[in-house]
Amino acid sequence: MSAETKEKPATNEGFSGEQKSYLEGLVSGLQAKRAASGLKPIGEGGGGAPVGPDAEHLKAQSKTEASGKKLVDPEKWKREEHPFDAYARLNEQAAKNEYPKPADNFRWRYYGLFYVAPAQDSYMCRLRIPNGILSAAQFEGVARIAEDFGGGYAHVTTRANLQIREIEAANAVNVVEGIQELGLTSRGSGADNIRNVTGTPTAGIDPRELLDTRPYAKSWHYHVLNDRSLTGLPRKFNVAFDGAGTVAALEETNDIGFSAIEVTEGASVPAGIYFRLVLGGITGHHDIARDTGVVLVPGDATKVADAIVRVFVENGDRTNRNKARLKYVLDDWGFDKFLAAVEEKLGRKLDRVDTGHVKPRAEADRMAHLGVHAQKQEGLNWIGLVLQTGKLTVDQMKGIAAIARDLGDGDIRLSVWQNLLISGVPDEKVTEAVSRIEGLGLSTKATAIRAGLVACTGNTGCKFAAANTKGTAEAIATHVESKLELDKPVNIHLTGCHHSCAQHYIGDIGLIACQVPVNDDGDTVEGFHMVVGGGTGGNAKIGRELLRDVKKEDCPQKVEQLLRAYLANRQDEDELFFS
């Protein structure tokens, strides 16, 4: 601003009558908007800081309050102060090396920070990485942050994301801001927000894909990041985009799943590639997302997802955390009523296509996220690395970044299978890339047991866990590999509590942690209940419980017995596990 401009008084003097009336109208319109959003009027010290939640939330919350039911604590905390208005206090706590009390512990999750005591007396920070794809420089940057401010390692999560652990309170802001300086963010990756947007990890390079999910995942990611009224939902919310590629994105486990399909001639819409909309996936509550029959042109995905979320924001249950997910609105209303509300928000009807006009989709290849695979770009390959239930040291991360930069196209692609792919590796550089990966103590080849081995954080880092999930997963893999040779991959998912971050209900074999009673005095030891027969993709289904209270140390043998029973009793090699 020039000195001349600065000197002009901020009044309406010097304007014509018409200009003055325009300005007055503008100001009164702004005042009305601020009032509706819970902001102080201009001129009353409102500054830029909103007080209380956003307008959309107030509307939704007043509906809940009108029900006369008691609000849960997180809802009270949301009303007291929007977490994005409390960043100065996070800074103050970091300056004092102080961890938060429960209300702020909830709020800091809006910044991706989770204080995880008593499992670890430190923060965990979870990023947001749309479609799970980041550059080698960003990946190396995350490694440096984990080295300087965390425990020297990171985990690839089941939402194709990264988590840094063992962050001291003093370093909380360093981590949040360090991530932003890399062109990444951790915003909204925890609490009642829309979580990391997943997509097909081989998007844009997969010879089989119907469409490249990256632009749609990115569009939704930035839409959510830049609209505060899409934060503070009744509970967390998951959205996934699947391009019908070789590696599954597991969209059927999300609140909203967009599955690429090909519509044939004679349908109610022109033949071509669309997203089919599935809704209400939440496997921990025994539900796979259900097909709505709705199809949409891919470019409409963000608009439609926005309308769905807003219907949920207004009507989700804010008085019972166990019933606060989208599934319960769908169960209460039925799909017809819900979709009618979405159409009202959108201001138009959605297209429906019957399954008879949709070409069947090929099943995902359960091994394609590992090893060397030809891309649709001639002469180029993706290489999938095996990680031990997602864990990477910072040295391994730096080494992977260097390989992606030196020998690949510079992208690192995380998958929901807790592993990563390096893409764009020319044929003549594959051998060197594999050898450098092995030099990092990692591998590109997995046994049929390890390829689909997934485990949540467990009790070494999560206060909700009843047992050590990652350690038990490793013990199962080591034991079964020494006893059995399987002729097809098997998915084994271990989860530490009912939150089901590792989605045990969709595993061929799923384990959920529990405390196993060992005597009449109430003493317990770590253990698991076992579920069998879950599935994904075209075979998506919730498994059924088979065994209860198996002690942790007995799990490897029990899994071996289950697999032997399957091998002995199946009709043929194509029979699904425990179907």
CB atoms within 10 A of CB 518: 13
Amino acid letter for position 463: K
- Burial of 493 per CB tally in 10 Å (0-12, 13-18, 19+): buried
3-state SS assignment for residue 241: strand
**Residue owning tokens 């049929």:** 448
* Comparison of 281 and 496: residue with beta carbon closer to ligand SF4: 496
For residue 456, state whether it binds ligand SF4 (rule: CB under 6 A): yes
Rounded to a whole number of angstroms, the minimum distance from the CB of residue 554 to ligand SF4 is: 20
**Token pair in block for residue 163:** 């988590």
Closest CA to 308 of 287, 327, 283, 284: 327
Rounded to a whole number of angstroms, the minimum distance from the CB of residue 437 to ligand SF4 is: 27
The four Cα atoms 192, 131, 172, 468 give a dihedral, to 10 degrees, of 80
Instruction: Tell me if 432 sits within 8 A of 174, measured CB to CB.
Output: no
> How is 322-357 classified by DSSP, letter by letter?
GG-SHHHHHHHH-HHHHHHHHHHHHTSPPEE--GGG
* Comparison of 302 and 495: residue with beta carbon closer to ligand SF4: 495
Closest CA to 489 of 499, 497, 481: 481
* Comparison of 146 and 502: residue with beta carbon closer to ligand SF4: 502
For residue 196, state whether it binds ligand SF4 (rule: CB under 6 A): no
For residue 494, state whether it binds ligand SF4 (rule: CB under 6 A): no
For ligand SF4, which stretch binds (CB under 6 A), given 33-41, 206-214, 316-324, 498-506? 498-506
* Comparison of 434 and 494: residue with beta carbon closer to ligand SF4: 494
* Comparison of 278 and 512: residue with beta carbon closer to ligand SF4: 512
Taking CB under 6 A as the criterion, the residue among 283, 457, 491, 536 binding ligand SF4 is 457
For ligand SF4, which stretch binds (CB under 6 A), given 107-115, 232-240, 315-323, 493-501? 493-501
Instruction: Tell me if 317 sits within 8 A of 331, measured CB to CB.
Output: no
3-state SS assignment for residue 4: helix
**Token pair in block for residue 384:** 């999938």
For residue 465, state whether it binds ligand SF4 (rule: CB under 6 A): yes
* Comparison of 84 and 464: residue with beta carbon closer to ligand SF4: 464
User: What is the distance between the alpha carbons of residues 535 and 542, in angstroms, rounded to a whole number?
Assistant: 7
For residue 491, state whether it binds ligand SF4 (rule: CB under 6 A): no
For residue 125, state whether it binds ligand SF4 (rule: CB under 6 A): no
DSSP-derived letter for residue 51 is -
CB atoms within 10 A of CB 23: 12
**Token pair in block for residue 48:** 């830029």
Taking CB under 6 A as the criterion, the residue among 243, 280, 496, 510 binding ligand SF4 is 496
For residue 122, state whether it binds ligand SF4 (rule: CB under 6 A): no
- Secondary-structure breakdown of the chain: helix, strand, coil percentages, each rounded to the nearest 5: 40, 20, 40
Sign (positive or negative) of CA dihedral 322, 326, 328, 329: positive
Rounded to a whole number of angstroms, the minimum distance from the CB of residue 549 to ligand SF4 is: 18
For residue 499, state whether it binds ligand SF4 (rule: CB under 6 A): yes
Closest CA to 546 of 562, 557, 532, 528: 532
Binding mask 255-294 for ligand SF4 (x = CB under 6 A): ----------------------------------------
Longest Cα separation, the chain? 92
For residue 514, state whether it binds ligand SF4 (rule: CB under 6 A): no
* Comparison of 259 and 500: residue with beta carbon closer to ligand SF4: 500
For ligand SF4, which stretch binds (CB under 6 A), given 181-189, 320-328, 371-379, 460-468? 460-468
User: What is the distance between the alpha carbons of residues 205 and 372, in angstroms, rounded to a whole number?
Assistant: 13
Rg (C-alpha) for the chain, rounded Å, is: 25
Rounded to a whole number of angstroms, the minimum distance from the CB of residue 502 to ligand SF4 is: 6
For residue 134, state whether it binds ligand SF4 (rule: CB under 6 A): no
Taking CB under 6 A as the criterion, the residue among 105, 419, 444, 500 binding ligand SF4 is 500
For residue 462, state whether it binds ligand SF4 (rule: CB under 6 A): yes
Rounded to a whole number of angstroms, the minimum distance from the CB of residue 390 to ligand SF4 is: 11
3-state SS assignment for residue 369: coil
Rounded to a whole number of angstroms, the minimum distance from the CB of residue 465 to ligand SF4 is: 3
For residue 422, state whether it binds ligand SF4 (rule: CB under 6 A): no
Rounded to a whole number of angstroms, the minimum distance from the CB of residue 500 to ligand SF4 is: 6
For residue 527, state whether it binds ligand SF4 (rule: CB under 6 A): no
For residue 495, state whether it binds ligand SF4 (rule: CB under 6 A): yes
261 Cα distance to chain centroid: 22
**Token pair in block for residue 430:** 């594959």
Taking CB under 6 A as the criterion, the residue among 84, 87, 335, 464 binding ligand SF4 is 464
Rounded to a whole number of angstroms, the minimum distance from the CB of residue 468 to ligand SF4 is: 10
Of residues 162 through 181, those in contact with ligand SF4 by CB under 6 A are none
For residue 117, state whether it binds ligand SF4 (rule: CB under 6 A): no
For ligand SF4, which stretch binds (CB under 6 A), given 30-38, 341-349, 389-397, 492-500? 492-500
Rounded to a whole number of angstroms, the minimum distance from the CB of residue 114 to ligand SF4 is: 10
**Which residue has its beta carbon closest to ligand SF4?**
496
Three-state SS string over 138-195 comes to HHHHHHHHHHHHCCCEEEECCCCCEEEEEECHHHHHHHHHHHHHCCCECCCCCCCCEC
Q: How many residues bind ligand SF4 (CB under 6 A)?
A: 11
User: What is the distance between the alpha carbons of residues 37 and 290, in angstroms, rounded to a whole number?
Assistant: 35
Q: What angle do CA 114, 503, 305 make, to 5 degrees?
A: 75
Binding site for ligand SF4 (CB under 6 A): 456-457, 462, 464-465, 495-497, 499-501
